Chain A
Amino acid sequence: MKSLWNYLRSMKFAIILLFLLLLTNIPTIWIPQHSESSDKVFKFYIEHKTLANIFNKLQLFDIHSSIIFISIYILLIISLIGCLIPRTYTYINLIRNKSYKSISKINKNLYLYKNIEIPNDQIEQYENELKLKKYKLINNYGYKGILIREFGNLCFHYGLILTIILIFISNMYSYKGIFTLSTGSRFINVPLSYDNFQHGKLYNIKNIDNINFTLNKFNASYTKKIQKGTPLYYKAHITYKNKKKIITVNNPLKVNNTKIYLQSHGYGIQLNNNNNNINTLCIPLDNNLLSRCKFKISDNILGIASFYPTYKNYESIFPATNNPLLNTSFYKSRIPITNLNNINPMQLQQIKDNDKLNFMLRPGESINLENIGTIKFTKYFDYVSFKVSHDPTRAYLLLSIIMILIGISLSIFTPCYILHKEQHKSYTKYKIRYSKRTGL
């Protein structure tokens, strides 16, 4: 049992674990990940069915939350803690007792020590020699150096453990969500407002932050000459607590531990059918925001339309609405339509009007169809997709990051070449610590 524990906390085992961690990451090159894009995983399922099933059983589509990955993680933490606790104990003892003689206990395998006695009249020559070898001569600094270095080491590794624990806690107590908002409408922070809402197991939904704001306006600007259509900026103008604010891509709205990010934007359309308003949000298909819109007119009639912000030859050539056009077609369904995202194409029949299948509409224009009545393309509007992320561990994570950075810097950049220099009457005693390779 003891030997197992010793093996667990040995450096060799830690290195093996790091290797395994590395190897588990490599398959992500070939195998699509759910975390990255579920569509790609779906595509992989269609292309290689049997292989996908095997991969799914081996949890290769979610490598970073698979049992193998997590167990390596946990073993690494155990190994780390097993290594750190004795070292911390030694370190505290060293500082308390100030018994600098036992300092060689730290890293005892790694460094060689030698005592050299130099007659006082040859000191200068010897020290010059040391300087040539890039040893830094600092009186008694070597002891402090090695202590600072060890402090850095401990600090870095505790920082790593803290980070991993915080990530775990954050997964438990955080929530994330995506919602879309059309211009002019209001967001109220309840789970129902979200299109996609995920929360940690220990998060209490009753405590959800009270956030509500109105999206007044959305501005986007695009380059007009070189690289035509590349976005210059996105600005969502909102009113939050009666104050006007702007959310941009790198500038989320912060409320306590919750941040609201501007994620993407698209166009929505409003149609009018016999004095009934139909609003629908369209899904952008390309960089020039050619968008696909689906809308329900009655229980068994639906419309599918392409919205071109700047129309030219059945294409959108610019993402801003310079020449907006809607190209619609209408379908009759044999069964009542319940969900627009789940339509069976076999049940649809396209509606013809004077042998026309597609109807081009500009804002304000209308058409008359036999069974449907008047359809008027009233207006188009912007909608914005926001991402909400609530993470109570943010401030602590910053602490752990600082620990990691200070720790690693101290442990690598602190000089400690010479351990000790003792002046005696006729000679000076040097105790030198050296490593075969680096002098680090």
Chain B
Amino acid sequence: MALLKEIGNYFHEIYDGVASLVRGMKVTGKYFVKSSEIVTQQYPENRATLKMFDAFKGELILKHTEDNEHFCDACNSCARACPNGSIEIISKREVGEDGKAKRTLDKYIYHLDTCTFCGLCVPACDQNAIAFSQEFEHAVFDRTKLVKQLNQPGSKVVIKDKHETK
């Protein structure tokens, strides 16, 4: 009886093996026939309709409101968080309305050429002032163009109500 069982197992194994292989071939065979299953996007052709996903890290931007105001208080956290030193904060001292000297942002310099898009700067920012955009076409012919000033000309820091803390 044991021998019969062995023989039965032998043929059962063959049957199982063949059945699972056929199942696999069915899947790939279906993909081969159906062109609707193709997931490849043809990039330069679909540039107009191409939409990157939300978590995509294209390049760093400093968020600006409609009134050309940004949220950066020049605390330097992002520059310290950056492993490559791609962020340079140039601040200046300004005397505010209340007569106190205050540190404000002069230039937010971003070196795209050394950025590895690790994204450590964004969570380091207390003011939630920076973010990554969806822009990914970075190629330029002159490397000086990769050093960008992120704060728009004439922009100011948002004046927050003191009672309204975050």
A and B form one complex: no
Q: Enumerate chain A interface residues (CB-CB to B < 8 A).
A: none
Q: Enumerate chain B interface residues (CB-CB to A < 8 A).
A: none
